[in-house]
Structure 1
């Protein structure tokens, strides 16, 4: 009878026997699959449209699509020009505008200046009536004083100071509409050193590939202009330089550019990361095997399995996205685990003196069961992500889950088939290729069983350390620190591991487009991109505008609202102001303009126009202003209407503030009870952030239940099932504790690591417990498969640790969290689980009534016993 608690079933015997008897057929099938997969993988493309990754039925997505159809979306590609010479800035902007607008294939429209004459002439209808009256009083006092002093017969008996015309406070108050200055047609900063050009491409911000290609083309066009412009002005892409009369520095930002920079920072990191991961995995495998042949076998199998997975991806999904593009590196780190365990087990079986074919067959059977359970549990843990509403995660879960199974079967077919084929050539060749491992002795020189000394003490000490580390992850103090408050070490760990909502922590440090965006916010006092609210009629647009501007207490995160009604004077104010203007015109009839000083006469024409301003409604707004808020001629009939733009007052890089802004503006209810939805990048990112947070909690719960159910199904014992999950549960808890101790926090990217770590962590307990259940002592079990567990964990660590070389901080955080989690699960396996196994073994010995020397030795699992 076999001493294993799980005798091999017919399927495992048949599978193992087929691998040994028909290695050539197996290899040919794998190579055929590889050829087809390489062809499919070569056709894989990366879909960079992030909008496709979110459910198309979400209201946020539908509204964004409507805005895209109407005006191409709510964001811009911003081209900022910087220089100390204002005329040069304006001349260059005019030249570039003509060049950019001529590109009808890529550019929908360009905004870089807006005539302000209409607004200047009618501004008197917008100002508060009391301010207009005060302005009238000051101007009339000044004019009368000037007339009096210019009179040649004016005699001043007592010297008085001339009346000064001080209007700066009123001018500053009404010098802009929204944040656009009415002093200048151009979009130029108050210090006259930066010019903004707002480009609306023919696609929306989510089509990253097109945006990237256009920025590259525009950069080439600017380089050509720099060489050929008649004024000899040199253009330089620089995010710090201040230009002059002969040099203009430029840079790109806006939602189009920041989205491209963030996503392609991830993509550009993947190549170096994959190379580093591959080399590290290769080095670790060689170090543990100490031979080239087994390394070549498992690494080649890993590469083949990964390529077959890529072919499977093409056959099922058809393309990669910005999330699934990291699939290959993760699968390599996880997948090689199966080959390592097979080779180590084969060396052990060969070390027991078995012929090569029996050793290969028994290795498949003995290592195959925990490998199969591990593959199924890990694959299921990945596939749990399919519940996500975010298609990036759901597709990743599906492909990573299927890829885990593919790699498991590939390595448990490729590796044994190669060794079996080598054995056919020469029966001693497999042993020479991979080496042998003598089964660890169950007893020492004196005949006593080798055991972990004082397992209860080891378990107690380990438990105390684990509890202390895990306690650091618990938020004992839930209060938020005061802004700018620097917490001490003990104050910090009282708040637990925490979650970092600031998405600036995820992007590459010093990202030029983000720095430029901050500079624009400071110079123009405006956020880079607005969100938009669609209304079908002008009346609805008016209701939305009045709701948003009339209730600042409800919309605390809104900085400004820009609508077609921004250019329409409030009827009550316009009527009251017109009355003052009529009175003013009557008073001015008594003044001879020709008698005024020359500098005042020059402004008289504009002044007269301002005095003649008449109230007007929305239909009096010139098209050059109104067209900013109307649909384009190409818009579908069902999307005809008007847009109201909302600019945030908060930093949208801060996730909490972004969620607040999205909550305040997602549904706008007007006075008559109608509801309107805002649409834009902020709304989409807020929805995605909530999906990620909810999915992080749900997937951890589902993965935990899945693991427990599968482990119970495998062991048919609650104590053994619980013992097998000790490494992953305790290891994960310790990971969170160490994160708190080292001031590391979870974020929107690394939170997805938690279910992945749970899925991979099952292998530690599975391999150790299955070897232990073959009848060996814990020490023998650990010495038999401990090296395989350690090496497979370190290869996974190498895969994730390679992410630390990425430029993208989000990827770095994923790599760091995964590395800590994998190390803690490994340490727990060799301490806490080892002590638990020793206690279980002692209990098993006591129940058997036999001394340790009577228990089956590691070599008892020979072919005859297995066949029984």
Structure 2
């Protein structure tokens, strides 16, 4: 081996010397920073308003803010009452509504019943003329028969059956407006066993904290009502009540948003404890001593708190995404401490004094640790390009936090050991142990220890990797369902699939979603609507005509129903034709005495006679009780005054693909130019965009998909560039990313075989795995470049690499205990990726290192057998590689 050795950078030596010479000062500085950061951490709050996480300049955000200003948003907090007794349900809903309407602080308005008399009396104007004519024919036939039979002089020579009035088909066809039954004022299901109370809070559905507190307040009130109201109210999502007990539940966009977001937060509480316990246990098993475990664990906690203080200074608050930052950083950050302790043990094992051992450990392990921290931080920083502020803030804080913890652990741990060494030079060795330099030759044969058959390992590894990659590639365009297990043949054809169904992410049996499905079945209605804004009534009419035109049925195939103020206005041509029939009909019946009809038919006959009085009316004839649902509230800003048209989907919005289709169809609604009677243009032709939760989620979904692909590309380029700058050698740079690239390729293949899917949550794991996976190759190759054979490199830093990977995997594995399926999927994908990269490091990368070693001149190999393995990096060896 050449005598010329590459000396460590002066800055690294100066930093290491400072830690050894002034450990007390270093510890005091760290503890002072910790104290300030702890104060900042206590001031941190979590902003639960998800709307703040999206760029406020997006059209989807601007439109939803307009709707919020106009009517408080397009969704509701739904309270569903379930019971066997209809009268009890209605009484309870009346009492609850009275209480809620008095709560001006929290409730904007409620809807639980709407008088239907006006609609009933005018329904004949909405009916198709041919159906009205048919109805008239049936009713007249029945009426004549009834009058004839009720005549006291009626005599039947040959007995005949009375004429039956069969109107069920027509009644069912026209028994609702906007799927609200016109048979009953209440929002009651067809089976009369569920009543809905629709609550519009004073805030929008994105303010999760307020909704959560309000629901708890409602629960308390309902419990008190049950004690004094004569009817017990119990929250349950399965049982059916009776006259003494009514079961209730909450759903709607307000509640499902809260449940989904807080399911993540509640899942992370036990997960964090499990992760910390698992990481602590693995660290103890790796060190086989408790002192080094305490050193690195305490340093990691200090670094995490300092990062939280940094968060308070720079960002000011956490959000629903960055709230998981602490647990993630602890899993990542402890790795730096593990590598330092292992390296210090190795240096002590060579018989060096404690101060030199600490200094050499900082220098030798510090460089790959620094490169790893820079690369990992940069991988997180790439997320800052995201339009979704949850990801961009997470990327910024995670990147800074990774670097902070990495630097701190390479200050805290050395300083503590230096303090111990000053008290007693033997203490560092006793406290953390020592590791004798690995043998380079076999004790029995005297031959050099080497990776057996590296060429064969590479060939076999290449075949296996190629085989696993083949599973990840989609070989067919067949759309395989992701809501059920696929056959092996289907999996191989489809490759790695993306599951767009958000139901796969939420906890199993989430009550609010379960209740939402029940309401959809009982009421034949879809989920919360989205809304389209219009400035004038003429524009509202143009929107309504465009969406309800039968010619556009295919164009708007994902729309179930459109509810507008014009829903309550009969079509002019139909109304005119039907009014003429009603007038003629009334004339025909003017001599009929209602009292002559059977008693059971007299009430219906009285209503029927009122229906004959119906006359055409325009939008200004719609009663305020109906019109107010579509008009801005009095407190709305002047620029947002106008009207809303509500659109309900006929597809399951939990299915991402269907949601995107629905949103695409409702984000490009063309309306023609509108002129008044004089020919003046009162509304220009334009394209309308619907607003609501669905468009926001659709935008977010597209951001996640786009950012997921882009960040993977950018992180990959970042890693390659940084590795090349570190090694200044293309071959070494490529070799160092083998565990990363090959491991992730195998991960995707395993996901295909195991029928696991990428989704909107675990896709963010990919850039994180890329950032973390760099450490495997870095530490192994840097140890190799110090002038050691591959076997020595593996034996000296392999334990640290394995331990650090397992601690991170343990942190992610703890997510398997979460009730939230999205978090579980993140844990599964991360664990597979971490384990495959570790396996590749100890097989494929080890074989590559052995091949490179074998190609070195023999004199270099012989020199290594007798040269110190620490603190020297052969420039000749780097050039030969």
- Range into which the TM-score falls when normalised by the shorter chain: over 0.9
Give yes or no for the alignment of 1:736 onto 2:748. yes
CA distance in 2, matches of 1:189, 1:21: 79
**2:145 corresponds to which residue?**
145
**Relative to 1, partners in 2 of residues 1:826 and 1:468: Cα closer, same or farther, differing over 3 Å?**
same
**2:505 corresponds to which residue?**
506
Contact 1:3 1:774 survives alignment (8 Å) = no
**Relative to 1, partners in 2 of residues 1:5 and 1:275: Cα closer, same or farther, differing over 3 Å?**
farther
SS in 1 for 2:576: helix
**1:316 corresponds to which residue?**
314
Query: Structure 1, residues 742-800: CA drift from partner, whole Å, max 9, x if none?
Result: 01000000000000000000000000000000110000000000000000000100111
CA distance in 2, matches of 1:357, 1:863: 18
Give me the TM-score of the superposition, normalised by structure 1.
0.97
Query: Structure 1, residues 516-540: CA drift from partner, whole Å, max 9, x if none?
Result: 0000000001113000001010000
CA distance in 1, matches of 2:15, 2:374: 17
Contact 1:442 1:857 survives alignment (8 Å) = no
Paired residues, what number?
Answer: 861
- Identify the match of residue 831 of structure 2 among 819, 828, 831: 819
CA distance in 2, matches of 1:603, 1:621: 24
Contact 2:125 2:578 survives alignment (8 Å) = yes
CA distance in 2, matches of 1:862, 1:617: 90
**2:676 corresponds to which residue?**
none
CA distance in 2, matches of 1:482, 1:821: 24
Q: Bigger CA drift: 276-285 or 663-672?
A: 663-672
**1:597 corresponds to which residue?**
598
CA distance in 2, matches of 1:222, 1:5: 79
Contact 1:650 1:658 survives alignment (8 Å) = yes
**2:677 corresponds to which residue?**
none
CA distance in 2, matches of 1:28, 1:225: 59
CA distance in 2, matches of 1:601, 1:357: 106
Contact 2:7 2:872 survives alignment (8 Å) = no
CA distance in 2, matches of 1:539, 1:718: 68
Residue 459 of structure 1: how far off its partner (Å): 1.0
Give yes or no for the alignment of 1:197 onto 2:197. yes
Give me the TM-score of the superposition, normalised by structure 2.
0.96
**Relative to 1, partners in 2 of residues 1:447 and 1:183: Cα closer, same or farther, differing over 3 Å?**
same
Residue 667 of structure 1: how far off its partner (Å): 2.1
- How do 1:72-111 and structure 2 match up within 5 A? 72-111=72-111
CA distance in 2, matches of 1:709, 1:167: 77
Residue 150 of structure 1: how far off its partner (Å): 2.0
Contact 1:768 1:785 survives alignment (8 Å) = yes
Contact 2:6 2:873 survives alignment (8 Å) = no
**Relative to 1, partners in 2 of residues 1:774 and 1:601: Cα closer, same or farther, differing over 3 Å?**
same
CA distance in 1, matches of 2:873, 2:705: 54
**1:805 corresponds to which residue?**
817
Give yes or no for the alignment of 1:689 onto 2:701. yes
- How do 1:727-806 and structure 2 match up within 5 A? 727-806=739-818
CA distance in 1, matches of 2:871, 2:735: 27
Structure 1 runs (4+) greater than 6 angstroms displaced: 1-5, 482-486, 863-866
Residue 486 of structure 1: how far off its partner (Å): 6.6
**2:59 corresponds to which residue?**
59
- Identify the match of residue 861 of structure 1 among 862, 870, 880: 870
Residue 857 of structure 1: how far off its partner (Å): 4.8
Query: Structure 1, residues 722-761: CA drift from partner, whole Å, max 9, x if none?
Result: 0000001110111111011101000000000000000000
**1:224 corresponds to which residue?**
224
CA distance in 2, matches of 1:504, 1:287: 39
CA distance in 1, matches of 2:115, 2:873: 94
SS in 1 for 2:240: coil
Contact 1:4 1:775 survives alignment (8 Å) = no
CA distance in 1, matches of 2:446, 2:632: 90
**1:71 corresponds to which residue?**
71
- How do 1:177-326 and structure 2 match up within 5 A? 177-229=177-229, 232-326=230-324
Unaligned runs of 5+ in 2: 674-684, 876-881
**1:452 corresponds to which residue?**
451
Q: Bigger CA drift: 475-484 or 206-215?
A: 475-484
CA distance in 2, matches of 1:865, 1:233: 85
Unaligned runs of 5+ in 1: none
**1:407 corresponds to which residue?**
405
CA distance in 2, matches of 1:778, 1:799: 30
**Relative to 1, partners in 2 of residues 1:831 and 1:5: Cα closer, same or farther, differing over 3 Å?**
farther
SS in 2 for 1:39: helix
- How do 1:573-652 and structure 2 match up within 5 A? 573-652=574-653
SS in 2 for 1:449: coil
CA distance in 1, matches of 2:753, 2:393: 34
Residue 850 of structure 1: how far off its partner (Å): 1.5
**1:337 corresponds to which residue?**
335
SS in 2 for 1:631: coil
Residue 608 of structure 1: how far off its partner (Å): 1.7
Let me know the Cα RMSD of the aligned residues: 1.6
Contact 1:20 1:360 survives alignment (8 Å) = yes
**Relative to 1, partners in 2 of residues 1:644 and 1:401: Cα closer, same or farther, differing over 3 Å?**
same
Residue 598 of structure 1: how far off its partner (Å): 2.7
Contact 1:236 1:248 survives alignment (8 Å) = yes
**Relative to 1, partners in 2 of residues 1:857 and 1:651: Cα closer, same or farther, differing over 3 Å?**
farther
**2:113 corresponds to which residue?**
113
